[in-house]
Amino acid sequence: MRLRVLLSSLFIILILNACKPGADLTPTAPFVVEKTPTQPSSEATFTPLPTSTPHSSPTPTMLPCRQEGGVIVEGQIESKLVHNPFEFLIYLPPCYQQEPERYYPVLYLIHGQSFKQDQWERLGADEIADRLIAEGEISPFIVVMPRVIEVIIDEQPPDAKFGQAMVDEMIPYIDETYRTIPDREFRAVGGLSRGAAWALHLSLSRWDLFGIFGAHSLPIFLTDSPQVRSWLDAIPKDSYPRVYIDVADQDLKTVRKSTEWFRKILMEKDIPFEFHEYPGIHNEEYWSAHLEEYIRFYSQEW
């Protein structure tokens, strides 16, 4: 059973511090990686973005705590932008306590509509991270799973304040409270379904904060679709995020339409991305089946 701890903001510090589709564009895409479900993830190749040097290098020897797994901590912060409290779960990787001088990349994972912040945990994101870290397949990193708070169903930005609360309140709090590497190359955001729409909104409107972006079954916000091209144009070519997109072959029509529209824009602008279409429908069984691939993508350059 995963250890769960409920801490106040101050106590955490004390303990841990010790969809509108666009024009039909069909240009060639020299940097696109498209894979069929039969191809292993390890065969994917694409142009990586330059990364900065981490604040601390991986531990050269394997510590016993690597096999013990990480912990999930429940937390909350006061918010002036969304209904209080602004809740989240945070996964602290194996050996977080035993390596007090080590700093970590951070992955923000956003749940889908009608779900809560525990969706990614229920699907097994923490367990997959534990296993891959213990096997030396990936480096340790922190995962933050915020609860999306919206006043009304289908509320979209700018009326929905969740995105602003993430940028102005959640990310600063996480960076101040936990041992994170506060550089965009070491900060990723991804989401499922409506969470994917939020991930796109955050990663493109605030590209200076996120160097990696994943959209799993993406329905783009109608209020965001007119801005996608201008957001991408504002990103310097040497600062494009690493992008991962996937969709089920029997997904909702609106989701498939949004995904294809966004994919064509990326091809139009010669922006590297990784795309997958797998058998399935718009449900947790589909996302769970590909969760390890998601985790490997986010962490592959850390």
Cβ neighbours of residue 92 closer than 8 Å, sequence gap 6 or more: 16, 70, 71, 72, 73, 142, 178
For the chain, helix (H) and strand (E) counts, in that order, are 10, 10
Give the span between the Cα atoms of 24 and 226, in whole angstroms. Answer: 15
The structural domains of the chain, with segments of one domain joined by +, span 4-19+65-299
For residue range 84-122, list pLDDT tens digits in order.
899 999 999 999 999 999 999 999 999 999 899 999 999
Task: Tell me the whole-structure pTM to 2 decimals.
Answer: 0.81
Torsion sign across C-alpha atoms 90, 93, 96, 98: positive
For residue range 203-243, list pLDDT tens digits in order.
999 999 999 999 999 999 999 999 999 999 999 999 999 99
Q: Which residue has the tokens 């995963």?
A: 2
Q: Which residue has the tokens 């479900």?
A: 37
**What CATH number does domain 4-19+65-299 carry, 2.60.40.10, 3.40.50.300, 3.30.390.30, 3.40.50.1820?**
3.40.50.1820
The pLDDT of residue 294 is 98
User: Is the peptide bond prior to 85 cis by the omega test (within 30 degrees of 0)?
Assistant: yes
* Average pLDDT of every residue of the chain: 84
Tokens of 80: 């002036």
Tell me what the mean pLDDT of segment 58-77 comes to.
81
